[in-house]
Amino acid sequence: MEYIVFGIIAYLIGSIPFALLVGKIGYKIDIREHGSGNLGGTNTFRVLGIKAGLIVTLSDILKGTLAARIPAFFDADVNLLVIGIFAVVGHMYPLFAKFKGGKAVATSGGVILAVSPLVFLIMLATFFLVLYLSKYVSLSSMVTGIVTIGVSIFIQHVGLIIVTSILTAFVIYRHRSNIKRIIDGTEPKIKWM
């Protein structure tokens, strides 16, 4: 029963579409009608700029962390990582945005942060290293997921191995069109690094 209750709460937290809110409240635009149309940090950076992109990315990370940590506040006997998965599902398929959300990257990171800040720091370092080398946000996101699985195996944390594998599968699935564009040479590269 606790898994159902906290899972629903996590899903609802994950469903908060910060990119949509920041776009409409701060810029009077619906970000779904601009750029890639994606409700995530990358599209926000491209369409609305650095300030909005940082706000959305940090908010998406923290909603994953909050959703995963809430059961701990109540001493609930549930696995925080499992509850965190519901937040990521909410981010991808948000109730408050017609079930069309982001690509699971930042919120997945937030879930990992809730349980292992060290692994989260390794994720950040990996992401920015791959981004520096490739200039592809999408590729950096997918490689980071794969590396995180490897780190989880190295530290022999069974829960992390399972959940990072699930979250990485989400990330890769949500980047299907990006993979095709990378292969075709049409995926946009960042220009600030």
Mean pLDDT per 10-residue interval, the chain, length 193 residues? 96 97 95 91 92 96 98 94 98 95 96 97 97 96 97 94 97 96 93 78
**Other C-beta atoms within 10 Å of 161: how many?**
18
Residue 156 CB burial class (10 angstroms; 0-12, 13-18, ≥19): exposed
Q: How far apart are CA 94 and CA 115, in angstroms?
A: 23
- Assigned token pair, 69: 């940590």
| pLDDT at site 36 | 87
Q: How far apart are CA 141 and CA 145, in angstroms?
A: 6
Q: Give the CA count within 13 Å in the CB-facing half-sphere of 36.
A: 22
| pLDDT at site 35 | 87
